[in-house]
């Protein structure tokens, strides 16, 4: 197997003398053409922020802010000397030309915009660490900004910055306090639509990274996100020419692993349940042990693990929804796929969606029950890649939740395939019906037989939600009344009228009913479904308007933690904004959906897109063990969990604050603004891990923005 490969950042020289960073006497500023600084001058004060930005936190990024006795003059040259520090360079020369100098204070999208996007804007803010908030003292008010062409430097748009939130204003995020800890301004140029590459420029401050306005801006982002999904396929090799990430077929029974059926369902746990089953398996006489399952391959590996559990069906259905919403435009968007899929008759997005459905159809039993997926008995052993797995690998027993989730996916796949591949559509239809019927017949006995009685109530709730989704999909497919009756019996639309809360768990099913053909739907129930989506979308819009960086949520109670993709996934747990736009075509929903993407694509204080391979400053160290163990860069297109609120003191992050951040962050790690708390170190899972479900959700919103029909571009001023 060979040793594990854990490449980290290259380091040389001595460690920086961080204790001297905030001492004014350690710096001197001089200038040959600014008379104020003819003689070297010390800064009035020095402020510092420092945080780790590499694999295990061994390397840190240090930002130093110098408060000067007089402002710098445009066009003049200055020398900053570090005579009190052990930096590699004794001094640096700097020309104060803010139209060409990149400033961390100016935040812009690394995806860019379509010309007809109704919202286009950057943000202006800076938090100075030990110096706290800064409101751009010395700039004329109102603060003005420009959009300049990258190639010529010509100004194509001028506007005024608008204060979004002051440093002390509360925000709509849970807890209500201010999460930027500094004033945040919007740099809105929504009315500008001319294609090209530009930078946002705030005179006296600096510029953003380049941003593009192009017809394919969102299409390129969507293709990147779908490439991330493709590179998590299990059971087949990956690599050139489709993608750069090179990996042999992983978790392929008979090739490099054996997968054994176990006597426990996914409803009772994950690796812990498989580990217990493995113990029982080992106690059996070899002749009595179940035989390995050769067809248990496929699906998507999840994050740093190799599991392919049935919760992937919950969000994998979003790709099928995209195809239904925008069949014509999505069919024209090519993706990175194997040659046989790239050249077939199906839209590339549909090929990807069916990969997930096919895996679970492969592990459907002859009686219709669908197994809960595949899981190993523990987290991967140190140094092992997915094609070297040496742990016990189990195939969960069939359960009603998985069976109904599969039925929902297969029914929708059959509908989408109608007219494209009728034989395959019939196969999915038949599989969906058999899975649905098995779940109905076996729900009670499977749940009652669970070893962990404490999980039975949760299993019953999950089964009801899965039944609700399967029923609406099979009713749309078959028009058979039994499915309609099951949907009506399980939908919470009949008991709850308002948005948010538990009803969001049924959002995909409710949206499906809101789009039900009038000939099939009950008018009053369809109206309720439509009203729920639109009211939930309004809740998300209000939430978006209530925070500095336009994060969206249809449920204000979701905790601010990386595990849910709070900062990196548009709408985090909900897709109501793009769904409301699909229902109505109303630009205010499209506007809010666009705003909700911006933090994740670079409009944030880190000036970082939170998808690998996107923009000039993407994450480099996601918790992706195959790349770390094989010495390769991580695959592109992975949307990571992103930051949590450090002030929330989440138990799962305390170790990092104590053992990693205590020596590598200034100021104290728990005092940092939540918007800027992310650190690019793979060993902190809640920041740098991810799930395939996060990738599905991100791809869905980017896909809507890419595939929606184009409109006449707005007139530039």
Question: Residue 714's pLDDT band (boundaries 50, 70, 90)?
Answer: very low
Contact between 609 and 601 (Cβ < 8 Å): yes
Question: Residue 502's pLDDT band (boundaries 50, 70, 90)?
Answer: low
**245 pLDDT exceeds 50?**
yes
Quote the tokens at residue 87.
């930096």
In 3D space, the residue among 681, 688, 699, 685 whose CA is nearest the CA of residue 569 turns out to be 699
For 546-666, where are the alpha helices, taking DSSP H only?
576-584, 587-598, 625-630, 654-659
Least confident stretch, 53-62, 322-331, 380-389: 53-62
**Which pLDDT score is estimated for 5?**
66
Rounded CA separation 492/488 (Å)? 8
Question: Residue 350's pLDDT band (boundaries 50, 70, 90)?
Answer: very high
Which helix (H) or strand (E) covers residue 79, if one does? strand 77-81
Write phi, then psi, for 602 (nearest 5 degrees).
120, -15
* Sign of the torsion formed by the C-alpha atoms of 640, 642, 644 and 650: positive
Evaluate the omega torsion of the peptide bond into residue 93 and state whether it is cis, within 30 degrees of 0: no
The total number of residues written for the chain in this structure: 717
What's the average model confidence in pLDDT over 511-518? 98
Rounded CA separation 302/294 (Å)? 21
Q: What is the pTM of this model?
A: 0.95
pLDDT digits (tens, 9 = 90+) for 151-173: 999 999 999 999 999 999 999 99
Question: Residue 689's pLDDT band (boundaries 50, 70, 90)?
Answer: very high
Rounded CA separation 191/210 (Å)? 18
- Percent of the chain whose pLDDT exceeds 70: 96
In 3D space, the residue among 129, 6, 57, 60 whose CA is nearest the CA of residue 660 turns out to be 57
Rounded CA separation 229/247 (Å)? 14
Rounded CA separation 541/590 (Å)? 10
Question: Residue 361's pLDDT band (boundaries 50, 70, 90)?
Answer: very high
pLDDT digits (tens, 9 = 90+) for 368-379: 999 999 999 999
pLDDT digits (tens, 9 = 90+) for 307-342: 999 999 999 999 999 999 999 999 888 999 988 999
In sequence order, what are the beta bridge partners of 374?
308, 395
- Between the alpha carbon of residue 14 and those of residues 52, 56, 59, 274, 410, the distances in Å are 17, 18, 12, 48, 59
Rounded CA separation 194/275 (Å)? 58
Question: Residue 8's pLDDT band (boundaries 50, 70, 90)?
Answer: low
CB atoms within 10 A of CB 398: 25
**55 pLDDT exceeds 80?**
no
Rounded CA separation 153/99 (Å)? 8
Least confident stretch, 492-496, 517-521, 582-586: 492-496
Rounded CA separation 426/407 (Å)? 13
Rounded CA separation 363/398 (Å)? 9
Rounded CA separation 455/237 (Å)? 37
In sequence order, what are the beta bridge partners of 462?
none
pLDDT digits (tens, 9 = 90+) for 409-434: 999 999 999 999 999 999 999 999 99
- Cα atoms found within 13 Å of the Cα of residue 176, Cβ hemisphere only: 0
**Which pLDDT score is estimated for 572?**
85
Contact between 520 and 479 (Cβ < 8 Å): yes
| Three-state SS at 640 | coil
Write down the residue that tokens 């591949």 correspond to: 421
**3 pLDDT exceeds 50?**
no
- Between the alpha carbon of residue 609 and those of residues 324, 568, 589, 642, the distances in Å are 29, 8, 23, 10
Burial 444-471 (b: 16+ CB within 10 A, else e): eebbeebeeeebeeebbebbbbbbbbbb
Rounded CA separation 714/117 (Å)? 9
**Which pLDDT score is estimated for 304?**
74
Rounded CA separation 685/479 (Å)? 45
């Amino acid at each position: 197997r060979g040793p594990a490969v854990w490449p980290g950042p290259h380091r040389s020289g001595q460690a920086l003398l961080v204790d001297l960073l905030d001492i004014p006497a350690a710096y001197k500023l001089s200038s040959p053409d600014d008379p104020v600084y003819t003689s070297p001058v010390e800064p009035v004060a020095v402020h510092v922020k420092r945080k780790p930005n590499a694999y295990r936190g061994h390397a840190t990024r240090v930002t130093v802010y110098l408060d000067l006795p007089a402002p710098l003059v445009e066009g003049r040259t200055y020398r900053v000397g570090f005579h009190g520090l052990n930096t590699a360079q004794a001094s640096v020369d700097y020309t104060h030309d803010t139209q060409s100098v990149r400033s961390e204070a100016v935040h812009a999208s690394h995806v860019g915009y379509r010309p007809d996007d109704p919202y286009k804007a950057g943000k202006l803010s800076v938090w100075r660490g030990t110096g706290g908030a800064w409101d751009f003292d010395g700039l004329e008010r109102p603060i003005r900004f420009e959009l300049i062409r990258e190639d010529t430097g010509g100004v194509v748009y001028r506007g005024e910055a608008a204060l979004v939130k002051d440093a002390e204003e509360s925000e709509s995020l849970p807890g209500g306090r201010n999460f930027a800890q500094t004033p945040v301004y919007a740099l809105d140029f929504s009315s500008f639509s001319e294609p090209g590459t530009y930078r946002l420029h705030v005179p006296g401050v600096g510029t953003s990274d380049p941003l593009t306005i192009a017809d394919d801006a969102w299409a390129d982002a969507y293709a990147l996100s779908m490439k991330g999904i493709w590179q998590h396929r299990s059971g087949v090799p990956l690599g050139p020419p489709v993608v750069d990430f090179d990996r042999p077929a992983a978790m392929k029974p008979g090739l490099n692993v054996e997968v054994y059926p176990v006597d426990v369902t996914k409803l009772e746990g994950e690796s812990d349940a498989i580990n217990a089953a493995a113990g029982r398996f080992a106690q059996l006489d070899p002749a009595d042990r179940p035989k390995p399952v050769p067809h248990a391959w496929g699906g998507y590996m999840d994050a740093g693990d190799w599991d392919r559990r049935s919760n992937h069906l919950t969000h994998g259905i979003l790709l099928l929804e995209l195809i239904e919403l925008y069949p014509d435009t999505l069919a024209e968007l090519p993706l990175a796929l194997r040659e046989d899929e790239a050249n077939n008759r199906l839209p590339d997005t549909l090929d990807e969606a069916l990969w997930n459905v096919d895996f679970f159809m492969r592990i459907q039993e002859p009686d219709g029950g669908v197994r809960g997926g595949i899981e190993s008995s523990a987290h991967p052993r140190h140094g092992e890649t997915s094609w070297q797995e040496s742990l016990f690998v189990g195939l969960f027993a069939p359960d009603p939740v998985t069976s109904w989730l599969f039925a929902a996916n297969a029914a929708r796949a059959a509908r989408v395939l109608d007219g494209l591949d009728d034989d395959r559509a019939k196969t999915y239809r038949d599989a969906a019906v058999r899975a649905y019927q098995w779940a109905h017949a076996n729900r009670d006995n499977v749940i009652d037989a669970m070893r962990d009685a404490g999980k039975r109530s949760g299993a019953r709730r999950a089964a009801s939600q899965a039944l609700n989704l399967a029923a609406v999909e099979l009713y749309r497919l078959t028009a058979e009344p039994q499915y309609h009756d099951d949907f009506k019996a399980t939908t919470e639309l009949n008991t709850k009228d308002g948005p948010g809360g538990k009803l969001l768990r049924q959002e995909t099913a409710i949206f499906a009913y809101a789009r039900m053909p009038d000939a099939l739907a009950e008018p009053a129930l369809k109206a309720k479904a439509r009203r729920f989506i639109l009211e939930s979308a309004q809740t998300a819009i209000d939430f978006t308007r209530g925070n500095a960086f336009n994060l969206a949520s249809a449920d204000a109670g979701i905790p601010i933690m990386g595990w849910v993709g709070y900062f990196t996934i548009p709408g985090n747990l909900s897709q109501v904004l793009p769904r409301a736009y699909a229902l109505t075509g109303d630009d205010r929903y499209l506007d809010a959906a666009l705003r909700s993407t911006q933090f994740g694509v670079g409009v944030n204080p880190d000036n970082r897109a939170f998808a690998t391979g996107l923009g000039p400053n993407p994450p480099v160290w996601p918790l992706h063990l195959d790349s770390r163990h094989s010495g390769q860069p991580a695959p592109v297109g992975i949307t990571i969990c992103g930051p949590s609120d450090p002030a929330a003191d989440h138990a799962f992050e305390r170790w990092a604050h104590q053992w990693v951040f205590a020596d590598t962050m200034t100021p104290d790690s728990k005092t940092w603004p939540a918007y800027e708390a992310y650190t690019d170190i793979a060993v902190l899972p809640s920041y740098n891990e991810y799930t395939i479900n996060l990738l599905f959700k991100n791809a869905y919103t980017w896909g809507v923005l890419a595939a929606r029909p184009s409109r006449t571009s707005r007139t530039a001023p």
